[in-house]
Every structure is written in structure tokens, then in C-alpha cells.
């Protein structure tokens, strides 16, 4: 048998398995030693002595143990190959009820994948034993890996998870070493038999012994180790473990009805404990961060500030006041602010005294702080709506102050952002860079809010502005062909000469594009009532100066109704070296 010092023989009889202990501070060395002393032989029976988790939770941080058992491994072999060993752990969400005879492999979704740090120091337990073939040992190598059990992307009726571990022993380097050609005969491999060996004592061959290998006459397979080297080991089968959501969270927004110079939004954050638990949950952290604005918590009374003790079916609501911040060139009445809100929630589930898993929920959402059409009296009724109604009262006020000699709003803010309300019950806001460079693509951010009561699905197309041709008035000129001496004939003069028509067609110059839209097919939706969507329009400027689009056409896919949005940002294009 080859030695285990050879890289391909290190994992010859290796076995992999995973375990999630119930207690976070368990002494694995003592548990394994106790199991081996009681006569446990195979790896599953040894790990059965470790109390394991029977129920896991989504959004949980848990510590999984990966156990590798090596057979007849020396200390020198373990030290030389352990540093070149790569341990990987994959966690899949499955539905065991789908595993039937027709489909033995259920649908699964990868929810975690991680690699053990190569610099980590694993726990090593050696078990010496006496077998029928002689003395031997089993070496147990244990790694710890922190895993985050995120929610699956597919719908699972009865969710469970399985842990699958794998070990690789530098497969790239080993294959490179094996691919080298060795012109010499490998060691411990017998040479081919000399067919002319009986003639070596013949006096006729006194000068040199005759040699003819049998491999030249017959196909002789040299004696060698028949099994291929092993560089990868995969866990044979996973153990399904039940997993459930411990809590659910959602956030709702509502605007203040009272008019103010700065739009304000009230956010209600709900944290609800699911009825699947039968233990206490400590909601100890709620962190909200607004990208462009300030946050003020309104529920700061006793029992509402984390940490809060919760029980199954409890619902904790935290109320926040969100206020946007404007730059020096922005105005609340003419600028649409779309801010990003980052939400992070943490809680501790007290399953037992020595098992307290922690869950973490994080997500990001957009908030539209645009001004309402009529903030004092709410939106107009259906009977009072007009086809071409103004965008907002604030815009009309700014136009009136400009006409009366007041201060004109800053053009920079109008160039970067634009706001439009369509007759389809959809509000759109466009935002782009203040200036662009010729030949360098740029993007507009488009934020769409469906304020109607029906679901919507749109297609968006950018309509370029066409140059108006210099149409000169037609002047009737007498044709040279009509200048004949036959004045008596009642023949009308030609409208224009053929030479003039040919000269006009030849002098017509083609129209060059100043702005090219690179987003040819933009689809939005389906948008449910009250939902929003964010997308981008990409353009390529080809000229220097002030560029504009004719409009952005919004097409309702269901009814084919079109709306041209002409309130779009300006585009100021500079040269390459400005």
C-alpha cells in the first residue's frame, strides 16, 4: 500500500460530516473522547453523542462544525497536508416532502456558501485502536464556520436545510505535478522481462548480452497501484433540519397632511414574532439610516425602546419621522428628492440557557419626498381633474414670482432633476448629472410611482429632438421649356423647372444626431397601486452645447395609451478637454 505521505493518498479513506451543536459553548473534545471511550465506531455514531439543534431559524447566525475523519494518518502527514487543505460548506434549503419515487432529488436553493480560513487552527482528536490487521488510528479534525441562514429565493411549503461539506487538497498544483513526463521508470515498478535472457550464456554473444524486452512483442501491463489518487472528498449525504422564520418585519409610510416648507414622512416599523415559537425573544437593536435626511424616533417611551422582551404573536411598532435635506441649490417646491433608507434589525431568541441564537434582518428601500399636488386639501376629485393640470402649486408660485420680477429658481437644480405627473395616475421623476462630456455615456435615474388604483405596465421610449428644416417659400418660376414661340396654344406654364428641383435635392444636407439614446427597450412593471420602480435611461452625447430630448414617451402595454413627458432635465455637454 502506498504511504499517506503521498498527496493523493492523504484523503484515501477520509469521511466528512457536519454538525450544529445545541450549546454554543460545548466542549467538543470532551464529547468526542467520551463517545470513543464508549465504543462508537463510525463517524455518525460518534457525532450522535453531541447534542444537536433540532430547529433553526431564517436570518440566523449559527456556528456549524465540519468534522473530517482520517484513517491511519501519521503526525508528519497531517502537518504537511493540513495547510494545503481547503474546506468548503454549502447550505441548501429544500422541501423533504418533494422527495418521492419519481423525483428522489427535491428542489433546493443555495442560501449560504463559505470557505474555512486556511490560517484557522482546527481541533484534532486522535483515537488509537487495535484491529484485525494491526494497530491503527482515526484522526478527527474539526473546523468551526459561522454561517448566515438567509431566506430562500423560492417558495417552499415545508422548509428544511441541509449542510454539505467538501474538502480539496490543492487539486490545481497536484494535477500540474502529475502532468509532468518522467522519462525514467518509476520506482517500485518491475521492468519488462528480457526474452533473450537464455542466450546470454551463448559463446556467440561473448561481447554483449542480447536484450529484447517482452513489451516489444506482447502488451504487458506493469504492476502498479490500481486505484487513482484522491484529491477531493464530498459529504455523502446531508441531514435535513427544520427551519422556520422567527420574526417578520415591514415598514409603512404616510405623509403629514399639514403643509410645511419641508416635506415630512412618518414611517411605522413593525416587528412581529411568529406563532411558531414557544420561547422569549429579545428585540435589542433597530438601526435606520437615511441617505439624504434626518431621522427622529417618536416612540421613546418605556417598553418601546430596544431592548424589548417579546413573546409569540407580539407586534412591536416603532414610529420614526423622516425629513429630507436639500442642498443650497434645491427648492422643496421644484425638486423631487428620492432618498435611500437602510434598515437593520437584530434580536436574540432564548431557546434555552445555553442556546441563544441571534437573527439579523437587513434591507434597503427608496422613499419619495416629492410634494403633493395640493397639500392643503389633498388631491383633486376625478370630476375636477384637468387634462393639462400643473405639476404642483409650488411650481406655479415660482413661475408667478418670476413673472412679477421675483427671484428666478436656480437653473442648476432644473437641469439635474425634473418632475412630471401624467394623466395615467403615474408620477415620474428624472435626475441626471449637471454636465456631461462628449463621447462619454451618461445615465438618467427614473423613479416611477403608481398613484392610481389599478396595476400598470409600461414601455418607455426616448424621443429625440429633430432639427427643423429651413423651408423656404415656394416661388413660381417660369420653365425654360415653356418659353416657346407658340403663344397661341393654351398651355399653362410649368410650376418649376426640372433643373431647379434637381439642384434643391442635391443641396439638401443630412441631419446629424446630437444625442443618442442607448436604452432602446425599457420595460416597467407590473406596478401594483401604491408601489414604485426605479430604472435608468442611458444616453451618448455627440455634440457640444445645450442638448434636449423632444420627450419621453410612456406607453401603457395593456391599453396602448401613450403619454409624452416633455418635462425632462436639460443636458449641458462640454468638449473632451474642458
Q: pLDDT of 436-494, one tens digit each?
A: 888 888 888 888 888 777 888 888 888 877 665 554 544 545 545 444 454 555 666 66
Query: What is the pLDDT, as a whole number, of residue 350?
Result: 92
Q: What gap in Å lies between CA 492 and CA 480, rounded to an integer?
A: 13
Question: Which of the pair, 20 or 504, is modelled with greater confidence?
Answer: 20
Residue 213 pLDDT greater than 70, yes or no: yes
Query: What is the pLDDT, as a whole number, of residue 402?
Result: 33
> In which band, very low, low, confident or very high, does the pLDDT at 348 lie, cut at 50, 70 and 90?
very high
What is the residue-averaged pLDDT of the chain?
A: 75
Low-confidence winner among 21-30, 261-270, 359-368 (lowest mean pLDDT) = 261-270
Q: What gap in Å lies between CA 316 and CA 335, rounded to an integer?
A: 35
Low-confidence winner among 185-194, 320-329, 388-397 (lowest mean pLDDT) = 388-397
Question: Which of the pair, 578 or 45, is modelled with greater confidence?
Answer: 45
Cβ neighbours, 10 Å, residue 151: 14
Q: What gap in Å lies between CA 71 and CA 134, rounded to an integer?
A: 13
Task: Kindly state the cell numbers that stand for 266.
Answer: 412618518
Question: Which of the pair, 329 or 258, is modelled with greater confidence?
Answer: 258
Question: Which of the pair, 271 or 485, is modelled with greater confidence?
Answer: 271
Query: What is the pLDDT, as a whole number, of residue 501?
Result: 74
Query: What is the pLDDT, as a whole number, of residue 439?
Result: 81
Determine the average pLDDT of the residues in 412-432.
63
Total residue count of the chain as it appears in this document: 578
Question: Cβ distance 369 to 341 under 8 Å?
Answer: no
Task: Say if domain 246-368 classifies as CATH 2.60.40.1470.
Answer: yes
> In which band, very low, low, confident or very high, does the pLDDT at 337 lie, cut at 50, 70 and 90?
low
Determine the average pLDDT of the residues in 412-431.
63
Query: What is the pLDDT, as a whole number, of residue 33?
Result: 86
Query: What is the pLDDT, as a whole number, of residue 394?
Result: 36
Determine the average pLDDT of the residues in 135-148.
87
Determine the average pLDDT of the residues in 370-382.
52
> In which band, very low, low, confident or very high, does the pLDDT at 242 lie, cut at 50, 70 and 90?
very high
Where are the strands (E) in 390-492, listed by range?
417-421, 426-431, 436-437, 442-450, 456-464
Query: What is the pLDDT, as a whole number, of residue 379?
Result: 47
Question: Which of the pair, 179 or 206, is modelled with greater confidence?
Answer: 206
Query: What is the pLDDT, as a whole number, of residue 565?
Result: 80
Task: Say if domain 410-467+513-574 classifies as CATH 2.120.10.30.
Answer: no
Question: Which of the pair, 107 or 66, is modelled with greater confidence?
Answer: 66
**Domain residue limits, the chain:** 7-177+229-242, 246-368, 410-467+513-574
Question: Cβ distance 360 to 346 under 8 Å?
Answer: yes
Question: Cβ distance 64 to 89 under 8 Å?
Answer: yes
Which residue, chain included where needed, has cell 437641469?
415
Low-confidence winner among 155-169, 208-222, 263-277, 303-317 (lowest mean pLDDT) = 208-222
Half-sphere exposure of 306 (CA within 13 A, CB side): 19
Query: What is the pLDDT, as a whole number, of residue 347?
Result: 94
Q: What gap in Å lies between CA 426 and CA 420, rounded to an integer?
A: 9
Determine the average pLDDT of the residues in 21-37.
86
Residue 274 pLDDT greater than 70, yes or no: yes
CA 133 to chain centre: 54
DSSP string spanning 15-67?
EEEEE-BSSTT--HHHHHHHHHHTT--SHHHHHTTS-B-SEEETTEEEEEEEE
> In which band, very low, low, confident or very high, does the pLDDT at 34 lie, cut at 50, 70 and 90?
confident
- Helix (H) / strand (E) element for 413: namely helix 411-416
Q: At 98, is the secondary structure helix, strand, or coil?
A: helix
Query: What is the pLDDT, as a whole number, of residue 149?
Result: 93
Query: What is the pLDDT, as a whole number, of residue 165?
Result: 92
Question: Which of the pair, 191 or 332, is modelled with greater confidence?
Answer: 191
Q: Can 246-368 and 410-467+513-574 be said to share one CATH topology?
A: yes
Query: What is the pLDDT, as a whole number, of residue 281?
Result: 92
Q: What tens digit of pLDDT does each residue of 530-567 get?
A: 788 888 888 888 888 878 777 888 888 878 888 888 77
Query: What is the pLDDT, as a whole number, of residue 247?
Result: 92
Spatial neighbors of 129 by CB under 8 A, at least 6 apart, are 135, 136, 137, 138
Cβ neighbours, 10 Å, residue 131: 8
Question: Cβ distance 243 to 112 under 8 Å?
Answer: no
Amino acid at each position: 500500500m502506498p504511504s499517506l505521505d503521498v498527496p493523493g493518498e492523504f484523503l484515501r479513506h477520509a469521511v466528512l460530516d457536519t454538525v450544529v451543536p445545541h450549546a454554543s459553548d460545548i466542549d467538543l473534545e470532551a464529547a468526542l473522547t467520551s463517545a470513543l471511550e464508549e465504543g462508537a465506531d463510525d463517524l455518525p455514531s460518534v457525532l450522535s453523542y453531541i447534542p444537536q439543534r433540532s430547529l433553526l431559524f431564517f436570518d440566523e447566525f449559527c456556528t456549524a462544525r465540519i468534522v473530517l475523519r482520517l484513517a491511519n494518518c501519521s503526525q508528519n502527514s497531517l502537518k504537511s497536508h493540513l495547510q494545503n487543505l481547503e474546506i468548503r460548506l454549502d447550505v441548501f434549503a429544500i422541501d423533504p416532502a418533494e422527495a418521492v419515487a419519481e423525483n428522489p432529488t427535491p428542489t433546493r436553493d443555495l442560501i449560504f456558501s463559505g470557505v474555512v480560513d486556511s490560517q484557522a487552527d482546527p481541533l484534532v482528536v486522535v483515537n488509537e485502536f487495535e484491529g484485525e490487521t494491526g494497530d491503527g488510528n482515526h484522526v478527527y479534525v474539526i473546523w468551526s464556520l459561522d454561517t448566515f441562514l438567509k431566506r430562500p429565493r423560492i417558495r417552499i411549503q415545508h422548509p428544511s436545510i441541509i449542510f454539505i461539506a467538501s474538502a480539496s487538497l490543492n487539486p490545481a498544483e497536484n494535477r500540474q505535478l502529475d502532468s509532468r513526463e518522467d522519462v525514467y521508470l518509476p520506482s517500485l515498478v518491475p521492468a519488462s522481462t528480457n526474452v533473450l535472457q537464455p542466450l546470454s550464456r551463448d559463446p556467440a554473444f561473448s561481447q554483449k548480452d542480447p536484450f529484447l524486452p517482452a513489451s516489444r512483442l506482447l502488451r504487458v501491463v506493469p504492476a502498479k497501484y490500481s486505484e487513482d489518487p484522491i484529491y477531493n472528498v464530498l459529504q455523502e449525504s446531508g441531514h435535513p433540519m427544520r427551519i422556520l422564520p422567527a420574526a417578520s418585519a415591514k415598514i409603512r409610510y404616510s405623509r403629514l397632511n399639514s403643509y410645511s416648507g419641508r416635506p415630512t414622512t412618518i414611517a411605522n416599523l413593525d416587528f412581529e414574532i411568529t406563532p411558531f415559537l414557544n420561547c422569549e425573544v429579545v428585540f435589542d437593536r433597530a438601526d435606520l439610516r437615511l441617505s439624504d435626511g434626518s431621522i427622529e424616533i417618536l416612540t421613546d417611551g418605556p417598553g418601546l425602546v430596544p431592548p424589548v422582551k417579546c413573546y409569540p404573536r407580539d407586534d412591536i411598532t416603532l414610529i420614526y419621522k423622516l425629513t429630507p435635506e436639500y442642498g443650497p441649490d434645491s427648492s422643496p417646491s421644484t425638486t423631487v428628492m428620492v432618498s435611500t433608507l437602510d434598515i437593520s434589525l437584530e434580536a436574540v431568541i432564548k431557546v434555552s440557557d445555553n442556546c441563544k441564537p441571534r437573527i439579523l434582518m437587513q434591507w434597503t428601500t427608496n422613499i419619495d419626498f416629492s410634494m403633493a399636488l395640493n397639500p392643503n386639501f389633498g388631491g383633486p376629485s376625478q370630476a375636477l381633474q384637468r387634462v393639462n393640470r400643473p405639476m404642483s402649486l409650488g411650481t406655479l408660485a415660482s413661475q408667478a414670482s418670476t413673472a412679477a420680477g421675483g427671484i428666478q429658481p436656480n437653473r442648476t437644480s432644473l437641469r439635474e432633476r425634473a418632475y412630471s405627473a401624467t394623466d395615467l395616475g403615474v408620477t415620474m421623476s428624472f435626475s441626471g448629472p449637471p454636465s456631461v462630456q462628449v463621447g462619454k455615456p451618461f445615465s438618467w435615474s427614473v423613479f416611477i410611482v403608481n398613484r392610481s388604483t389599478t396595476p400598470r405596465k409600461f414601455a418607455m421610449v426616448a424621443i429625440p429632438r429633430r432639427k427643423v428644416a429651413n423651408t423656404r417659400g415656394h416661388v413660381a418660376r417660369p420653365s425654360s421649356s415653356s418659353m416657346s414661340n407658340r403663344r397661341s396654344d393654351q398651355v399653362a406654364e410649368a410650376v418649376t423647372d426640372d433643373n431647379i428641383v434637381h439642384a434643391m435635392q442635391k443641396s439638401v444636407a443630412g441631419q446629424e444626431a446630437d444625442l443618442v439614446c442607448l436604452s432602446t427597450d425599457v420595460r416597467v412593471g407590473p406596478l401594483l397601486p401604491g408601489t414604485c420602480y426605479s430604472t435608468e435611461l442611458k444616453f451618448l452625447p455627440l455634440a457640444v452645447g445645450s442638448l434636449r430630448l423632444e420627450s419621453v414617451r410612456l406607453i401603457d402595454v395593456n391599453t396602448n395609451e401613450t403619454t409624452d413627458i416633455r418635462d425632462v432635465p436639460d443636458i449641458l455637454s462640454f468638449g473632451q478637454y474642458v
